[in-house]
Structure 1
Amino acid sequence: MAGRSPRELRVRRHLRVRKRVGGSSERPRLSIFRSNIHIYAQVIDDSQNHTLVSASTKDSELASALKGKTKIERAKAVGELIARRAKDAGIDKVVFDRGGFKYHGRVQALADAAREAGLNF
Structure 2
Amino acid sequence: MATSKKEQRLRRARQTRARIALQGAVRLTVFRTNLHIYASVISGDGSTVLASASTAEKEVREQLKETGSNVAAATLIGKRIAEKAKAAGVEKVAFDRAGYQYHGRVKALAEAAREAGLQF
- Same fold flag (TM > 0.5): yes
TM-score normalised over the length of structure 1: 0.90
The AA in structure 2 aligned to 1:57 is T
Q: How does 1:82-97 map to 2 (within 5 A)?
A: 82-97=81-96
Distance 1:48 1:15 in 2: 13
Q: Residue 72 in 1 paired to residue 80 in 2? A: no
Q: Which shows bigger deviation, 61-70 or 42-51?
A: 61-70
Paired AA for residue 26 in structure 2? P
Q: Matched residues in 2 for 1:12 and 1:59: separation?
A: 29
The sequence identity of aligned pairs, in percent, is: 47
Matching residue's letter, 1:107: V
Q: Does residue 51 of structure 2 align to residue 53 of structure 1?
A: yes
Letter in 2 for 1:111: A
CA distance in 2, matches of 1:68, 1:19: 36
Partner SS, residue 83 of structure 1: helix
Matched ranges for 1:93-104 at <5 A? 93-104=92-103
CA separation in 2, counterparts of 1:88 and 1:5? 39
1-side partners of 2:103 and 2:63: how far apart?
24
Report what 1:106 is aligned to.
105
- Runs of 4+ aligned residues of structure 1 deviating over 3 Å after TM superposition are none
Q: What per-residue deviation string (whole Å, max 9, x for no partner) do you get for residues 29-52 of structure 1?
A: 001111111110000013261000
What is the one-letter code of the residue matched to 2:115?
E
For residues 67 and 74 of structure 1, what CA distance do their matches in structure 2 show? Answer: 10
Aligned length: 118
More helix, by proportion = 2
2:30 is matched with which residue? 32
- CA-atom RMSD, angstroms? 1.6
Structure 2: stretches of 5+ with no match in the other structure: none
Deviations 1:22-75 (CA, angstroms, capped at 9, x unpaired) = 374xx4100111111111000001326100000000112211111236611000
Q: Mind listing any 5+ residue stretches in structure 1 that lack a counterpart?
A: none
- 2:6 pairs with 1:7: yes
